[in-house]
Amino acid sequence: MSVLKGKKVLMGVTGGIAAYKTASLVRLFIRAGAQVRVVMTPAAKEFITPLTLSTLSKNEVYSSFTDEEDENAQWNNHVELGLWADFMLIAPATANTLSKMASGNSDNLLLATYLSSKCPVFFAPAMDLDMYKHPSTKNSFKILQEYGNIMIPAGDGELASGLHGEGRMAEPEGILKFLEEHYTENLPLKGRKILITAGPTYEAIDPVRFIGNHSTGKMGYEIARAAVKLGAEVSLISGPTHLSMDDDRVDLIKVTSTHEMYEAVSSRFKDTDVFIASAAVADYKPVTVAGEKIKKDDQSLSLELTRTEDILASMGERKEHQKLIGFALETNNEVENARNKLKRKNLDFIVLNSLNDKGAGFKTDTNKVSIIYPNIIKDFELKPKTEVARDILTEIIELLNA
Ligand code: CTP
């Protein structure tokens, strides 16, 4: 899965022969799962039609502040376009546009959008070799890089003039690879190992019966998915659930009982940077597991139960550099109970779901949580578990970088 999946890409196309390659580039972005909007300079339209790029990007293409052919023309808002994007890519970037970008000229929609964008800006120069070498062009590269813009260097090869040398725009596949590497290198959880427990655990009573609970594992699975997207190496220790993991970057280890979950966590804990215990672990198990199915002989049946391992508390005792995150599901004295667990299990923070909140807890796609630190409480709105997962990981990134 590409790191560019879901990214909003604003492509700026300027008037150079390499503009014809932007058709392939837009297709590559779409195939990678990105959203693409295109702004062209008027000169770029001589090299590739807006219709081609709007068909491929599935979005309207903009090239002027208003649409000249439409008498009800609307103002094409360069500020809105700039704010929409996760990053802007100017490809091909001609010497003329680069020089205007460096000097703050904004005499077309692309330049005004560039000036008002707040996102990272990449530029892929394309020009003839003597233009590429000219001190004035080199100066534009230098100034733009000092502004924080990122250059995707041109390649060496045959140029449209028939000459041979530096100035040929990087190939679309090369541009995509450059961007994917950039975003992989800069992911906030890159190089971090995260261990997550999810779902219920089952404790056998006899060969056909068990003690379990209603946990589906959704929260833990969403955290695992979000964490790999942010660059983490994720091991997900999952109790029995109907969920499947569609991201093969997640190392999924399936277990049934608390003891199996404990063993799986225990053997990985030393090398882990963050342990997130989202599983609803069975606290008790039968002292003996019947070898045969228990028959109903009497009016009542008593089972003697004994405590299972408290996985999180054990890791809390072993904690060295690791960050530990727990979950608490409470019905009364919520904050006080959660704070006690935070202390008792030696956690960095605890995520509290209240069963009193509609749409929170088990079997729902939404959750309403509070994140509780020893001295701070952060309350979040009711939102999809995908977003709750991101909120939790944002807190973890802050903890790791503190
Ligand atoms: N937990 C665990 N192992 C257990 C029990 C709980 O790792 N045997 C973890 C859960 O995954 C959760 C946190 O500990 O992150 C809190 O679990 P909870 O069952 O609410 O807390 P307990 O300490 O068991 O307290 P109580 O059941 O009395 O509320």
Ligand 1 within 6 A of CB of 326: yes
Residue among 268, 196, 252 nearest 227 (CA): 196
pLDDT in tens, 252-303: 999 999 999 999 999 999 999 999 999 999 999 999 999 999 998 878 999 9
**Which pLDDT belongs to residue 67?**
66
CA of 292 to the centre of ligand 1 (A): 30
pLDDT in tens, 199-234: 999 999 999 999 999 999 999 999 999 999 999 999
Shortest-distance atom of ligand 1 to CA 283: 8
pTM for this predicted structure: 0.77
CA of 374 to the centre of ligand 1 (A): 18
Ligand 1 within 6 A of CB of 45: no
Q: Which of 310, 324, 347, 369 to mutate to test the pocket of ligand 1 (most atoms within 8 A of CB)?
A: 310
Ligand 1 within 6 A of CB of 61: no
**Which pLDDT belongs to residue 165?**
86
CA of 55 to the centre of ligand 1 (A): 53
Ligand 1 within 6 A of CB of 361: no
The tokens for 170 are: 């990087």
CA of 341 to the centre of ligand 1 (A): 8
Ligand 1 within 6 A of CB of 195: no
CA of 283 to the centre of ligand 1 (A): 7
The whole-chain average pLDDT of the chain stands at 93
pLDDT in tens, 89-127: 999 999 999 999 999 999 999 999 999 999 999 999 999
pLDDT in tens, 345-355: 999 999 998 77
Q: Evaluate whether 11 touches 36 at the Cβ level (below 8 Å).
A: yes
Percent of the chain's residues with pLDDT above 70? 96
Please give the average per-residue pLDDT across 225-250, as a whole number: 95
Q: How confident is the model at residue 53 (pLDDT cuts 50, 70, 90)?
A: very high
| Pairing of the two strands 284-286 and 305-307 | antiparallel
List, as own/partner pairs, every contact residues 66-75 make where C-beta atoms lie below 8 angstroms and the sequence separation is at least 24, other chains included. Answer: none
CATH architecture type of domain 193-289+304-401: 3-Layer(aba) Sandwich (3.40)
213 catalytically annotated: yes
The count of residues in the chain is 402
d(Cα 37, Cα 41) in Å, to the nearest integer?
14
Q: Evaluate whether 393 touches 230 at the Cβ level (below 8 Å).
A: yes
Ligand 1 within 6 A of CB of 277: yes
158 pLDDT more than 90 = no
Query: Of 59, 213, 337, 346, which residue is the catalytic one?
Result: 213
Please give the average per-residue pLDDT across 375-393, as a whole number: 94
Q: How confident is the model at residue 73 (pLDDT cuts 50, 70, 90)?
A: low
Ligand 1 within 6 A of CB of 392: no
Shortest-distance atom of ligand 1 to CA 344: 23
d(Cα 120, Cα 277) in Å, to the nearest integer?
35
**Which pLDDT belongs to residue 82?**
85
Name the residue with the closest Cα to ligand 1, atom 21: 328
**Which pLDDT belongs to residue 235?**
98
**Which pLDDT belongs to residue 363?**
66
d(Cα 174, Cα 233) in Å, to the nearest integer?
26
Ligand 1 within 6 A of CB of 283: yes
CA of 258 to the centre of ligand 1 (A): 11
**Which pLDDT belongs to residue 72?**
60
Q: Which of 80-84, 209-213, 299-303, 386-390 has the lowest mean pLDDT?
A: 80-84
Shortest-distance atom of ligand 1 to CA 328: 20
Percent of the chain's residues with pLDDT above 90? 83
**Which pLDDT belongs to residue 71?**
60
Domain 8-185: CATH superfamily is: Flavin prenyltransferase-like (3.40.50.1950)
Amino acid letter, 117 = S
**Which pLDDT belongs to residue 80?**
83
d(Cα 232, Cα 211) in Å, to the nearest integer?
33
Which residues, in sequence order, are CB contacts of 313 under 8 Å at separation 6+? 344, 345, 346
The domain segmentation of the chain, as residue ranges, is 8-185, 193-289+304-401
Shortest-distance atom of ligand 1 to CA 315: 7
Q: Which of 275, 327, 336 to mutate to test the pocket of ligand 1 (most atoms within 8 A of CB)?
A: 327
d(Cα 209, Cα 222) in Å, to the nearest integer?
29
157 pLDDT more than 80 = yes
pLDDT in tens, 306-344: 999 999 999 999 999 999 999 998 888 999 999 999 999
CA of 254 to the centre of ligand 1 (A): 19
